[in-house]
Structure 1
Amino acid sequence: MTASTELGELVVVTGASTGIGAATARELAGRGFHVLAGVRRERDADAIGGPGVEPLILDITHSGHVHALATRVADDHRALRALVNNAGIGVNVPVETFAIEKWRELFDVNLFGHVAVIQALLPALICSKGRVVNISSVGGRVAMATYGPYAGTKFALEAVSDSLRRELAPSGVGVVVIEPGAVRTEMPGRAIATANELASAMTPEQGQRYGALVHAVTAQTASHTEWGLPAEAAAKVIAKAVTARRPRARYTVGREGALIRLLPFVPDWALDRLLAMALRPYYPAHAQRSHDDGSRFRRSGTGDAVPGARQ
């Protein structure tokens, strides 16, 4: 892909209201693309609009919005260079306490909505030999405690991306996955607020089982976000995935890339222990002793210790 073919071509970016999506829209516009930036509210459209960025009201779970996007692309004389699937919801909650209808809503946004947009825009992408860039997460490779619902959607998106990449290779359409780790955006703050709200609705028994764990995870998230990369750094990696002549199948953004590279060499029991050790400093003081005692109990090798383990 050369600079001359890039100039003026279309790129669709979903979830462009804030954070990585907004930064990506601006980065690609700065490189000469015309970006169709999907946002959910008029005030977000006013904020993101600018040279090379055309905001569109787009809820990827709304079939009418997806159809209107496909029509907008089909009616444009310019080629569709790439679709960047960035829309998503973050949540940290134990599997037991997340209502099944909430599971369905989460998968609707984080997976099925992306599939709907891909299906709608594939004719244009095949015509232009364009590219699909799916924004996954480090959570698409490692499912930490309370990340079950969110990581479930991202693991699924990774699987869909692998299959799609192999299906579309003969058509000349590339499929790339981006796996951000800690990035300073609004999403972690929203995820923490949601986690606290869901924790307050737990039953007393669930609160006893998971209250300290949720506290530790949200504290760890807040800490990691402070030293995370700016959204603009992630946007540059995404832009590379859009423009590289031969992009990699996956790009990891942030320090967590080292953990991802270790995965093939670390057995599950060792990874469990590493993640538990990393989380330990964030537990409330009153929960430290019971957490440590539980860890020693799990290491004792007794057969009935694991089913009652917190993590």
Structure 2
Amino acid sequence: MTASPEIQEIVIITGASTGIGAATARELARRGFHVLAGVRRDRDADAIRGPGIEPLILDITNPDHIRALATRVHGDPQGRAVRALVNNAAMAVNAPVEVFAIDEWRRLFEVNLFGHIAVTQTLLPALIRSKGRVVNISSVGGKVAMATYGPYAGTKFALEAVSDSLRREMAPLGVQVVVVEPGAVRTEMPGRAIASAHEVASTMTPEQSQRYGGLVQAIIAQTAYHTKSGLPADAAAKVIAKAVTARKPRTRYTVGREAALLTLVRILPDRILDLLFAAALRPHFPKESK
């Protein structure tokens, strides 16, 4: 299922301003697809625009933007088929469950889950006609939720469940649904997660700081440590391109060494996992918190 140079197929990618989304847009354009790259700002559009890449201003929580995307897809001047929708847009947050404000929970789910559902619902008629593909970018956090990952992992667990259900609904219609689960990848997202963790820490009450201050600092240090050794965004883009183009794709692809972690999650009891995650985090705690 490879695009022909003469008759390009369309791939839509959300969250293509930077990181994995931008790298995937370039990888698929290189392979001959016409990529509609969803970005948030005009300067991001200028940065990503190139041969085979057509940037569109797309906030997946904005119904007007989604309608404009549908109009562009259905009114394609060359009548090109839609090969795939890559739901990649996301926000990263690290915060203890007690501390993260409920309005922020709702905002996070709007971006990381409900926005993807809205875009998918809108484009499914085109994907059904072309027997295309939905590729949902989840995370290792879609299978395991470590301390302070509750909000982010909650959105990704939900995306995994929606993907499973959609895959079974779409199978009789010829549309394949694939999940990609990246681990540590060197992008701007971990930096934004660290910034959000600092912001959350600054809003904690003295009692909350006593309970969670050391934990949040340890998570920040652990995230920075693993990001340095993570894969480049181009490596993740190649896996996503495989999910888009493989004739018989797997239902799930992992990216990075965290695939081994998912194996442990499947076979080890919860209490053992709790101990392992606590032990892995302990070296990153501030000395006075140990």
TM-score (norm 2): 0.98
Query: Aligned match of 2:248 in 237, 246, 249?
Result: 246
For 2:7 and 2:197, the matched residues in 1 are separated by 43
Aligned to 2:30: 30
CA contact 1:49–1:55 (8 Å) conserved in 2: yes
Aligned to 2:51: 51
Shift, 1:3, TM fit: 4.9
TM-score (norm 1): 0.91
For 1:107 and 1:156, the matched residues in 2 are separated by 9
Alignment map for 1:62-141 (pairs within 5 Å): 62-76=62-76, 77-141=79-143
Aligned to 1:13: 13
CA contact 2:12–2:38 (8 Å) conserved in 1: yes
- Computing the radius of gyration from Cα coordinates, the structure with the larger value is 1
Shift, 1:8, TM fit: 1.0
Residue type matched to 1:46 in 2?
D
For 2:127 and 2:17, the matched residues in 1 are separated by 24
32 and 203 in structure 1: CA distance in 2 versus 1, 3 angstrom threshold: same
CA contact 1:7–1:32 (8 Å) conserved in 2: no
Residue type matched to 1:25 in 2?
A
For 2:165 and 2:286, the matched residues in 1 are separated by 43
Percentage of matched positions with identical amino acids:
76
Query: Aligned match of 2:165 in 146, 163, 166?
Result: 163
Shift, 1:265, TM fit: 1.1
Shift, 1:160, TM fit: 0.1
- Detail structure 1 runs of 4+ shifted over 2 Å in the superposition: 2-7
Shift, 1:264, TM fit: 1.9
Residue type matched to 2:277 in 1?
L
**CA root-mean-square deviation:** 1.0
Shift, 1:4, TM fit: 3.4
Residue type matched to 1:37 in 2?
A
CA contact 1:82–1:125 (8 Å) conserved in 2: yes
CA contact 2:4–2:32 (8 Å) conserved in 1: no
Q: Once the two structures are superposed, what CA deviation does each residue of 1:27-66 show, in whole Å capped at 9, x if it has no partner?
A: 0000000000000000000000000000000000000000
Residue type matched to 2:153 in 1?
A
- 2:274 is the alignment partner of 1:263: no
122 and 6 in structure 1: CA distance in 2 versus 1, 3 angstrom threshold: farther
For 2:135 and 2:238, the matched residues in 1 are separated by 13
Shift, 1:5, TM fit: 8.4
For 1:241 and 1:7, the matched residues in 2 are separated by 20
SS class of match (2:25): helix
CA contact 1:8–1:78 (8 Å) conserved in 2: yes
198 and 284 in structure 1: CA distance in 2 versus 1, 3 angstrom threshold: same
For 2:153 and 2:4, the matched residues in 1 are separated by 39
User: Where in structure 2 are there 5+ consecutive unaligned residues?
Assistant: none
Shift, 1:262, TM fit: 2.0
